[in-house]
Amino acid sequence: MSDSAINLRSFVPAEQVRAKGRALRQRVPVDTRDRAATGGHRPDVLDFVEASNAGRLAHLIPLRIGRMITSPFAFYRGTAGLMGADLANGPNSGLTAQLCGDAHAANFGLYGTARGEIIMDINDFDETIAGPWEWDLERLAASLVLAGRTAGASEDDCRTAARDAARSYRLAVDALATMPFMESWNALPDKSVIARTQAEGLIDDFEKAAEKARKNTSAKVVAKWTEHLEDHETGIREHRFVSDPPILTAVDEQVAERVISGLERYAETLRESRRNLLDRFAVSDIAFRIVGTGSVGLHTYVALLHGNEGESLVLQVKQANSAALAPYLPAQLVRHEGERIVRGTRLVQSDTDILLGWTSLSPADDGIELPFIVRQFRNFKGKIDPTELPASDLDDYGRLAGALLARAHSRSLDPRLPAGYLDGDERFDEAVAAFAVRYADRAEADHAELVTAVRAGRIAAEEA
């Protein structure tokens, strides 16, 4: 029987599965999560930052550094690999899930399903990889402390948010473990998650974000970023991107042709019906667009396509690097980094972009092909910014994110196992919160070291 085969001939009762989880508590007690922030093999901060810039476009690295120094939370967002080095030496229950890999609080957001519904879920999977489920939760908890400090929340409020995220994760896993499998598979993606996690303080924030998300479409991109061009022979009206350096810039004809060829190959990674859908469009223009913090310096493009009766579709073509946590986990076979991201996303998200796929292309004249992912650039995306929440809502956000993370992990890890391991033990919540505060302190010190190096002229930075 191959490793990918499943067994439909026998059933393991829930109590037996939970018992396997409970047995792990003897080897790794839940309160061992309360530990030192740093691991024994973490690299020097500046060495790590320099190494993480390898392979990026040199002229954009100062912009990346400029974004990272704006706050400890921004620094944290760009250093998932640094935390991975610290987590690698921590306690490990032995239960593996498909991780987000960078589950900080700003990587939970709103987006639209193929049916036009607005849901909230993890929305960034560049670092997705199979690993200890605890790593995602601890990264989330520490990010809540940093986000709260950025917003001016008290230390008690920050710690409470981290603790509530862990508690919500624990309770959600336990609830998922008792549900029928078919029901648990699609649990928690929509607005109902707010009530289920007792996060009612976020209802107004969710409604406002959802209202904005419904307007966040390809048509809006066209209205803001393009100009009209008309082919007088055919009568077809098309658009071209208007450059807005350094964020949005034109590419030369050779690069545009390579990106279009990559898009044509990407179609083979879509389901047949979606391939037929894509085939009805044609590319109008390609531009280079800088995104995020961790992705600054990578090759990232937007493709403008035109369709039926003035319809427009904007796709993002984004370079896929190796997962930041990969060096700290057992070797995993990765045929294509874009495929890794796409398969991880499909495994974890409750409802995935129907045009998500992967491809390879050579952005430069050297002929070296790089891996990319392709997805809709604007499919009703929105967010609740955790760094702008009042202190009274930060713990609500922690509960919401903790539950969503539990649901995400339950796609790849039978929730009955972590439910058995956690076994209703509130010491787990306190241990995660204690580590989160300690790690937030560590991230602030790391950020300060980078800021000092920039001010001393050792590292170049441009205003973000």
The predicted-structure confidence for 360-405, as pLDDT tens digits, reads as follows 999 998 889 999 999 999 889 999 999 999 999 999 999 999 999 9
What per-residue confidence (pLDDT) applies to 2?
41
The predicted-structure confidence for 441-458, as pLDDT tens digits, reads as follows 999 999 999 999 999 999
What per-residue confidence (pLDDT) applies to 186?
81
Cβ neighbours, 10 Å, residue 339: 18
Residues (pLDDT < 70) of the chain are: 1-4, 188-191, 230-237, 464
What per-residue confidence (pLDDT) applies to 170?
97
What per-residue confidence (pLDDT) applies to 49?
97
What per-residue confidence (pLDDT) applies to 178?
93
Tokens 């700003």 locate to 106
Q: Is residue 161 within 8 Å of residue 394, measured between CB atoms?
A: yes
What per-residue confidence (pLDDT) applies to 231?
62
The predicted-structure confidence for 329-363, as pLDDT tens digits, reads as follows 999 999 999 999 999 999 999 889 999 999 999 99
What per-residue confidence (pLDDT) applies to 234?
58
What per-residue confidence (pLDDT) applies to 10?
94
pTM of this prediction? 0.95
What per-residue confidence (pLDDT) applies to 1?
30
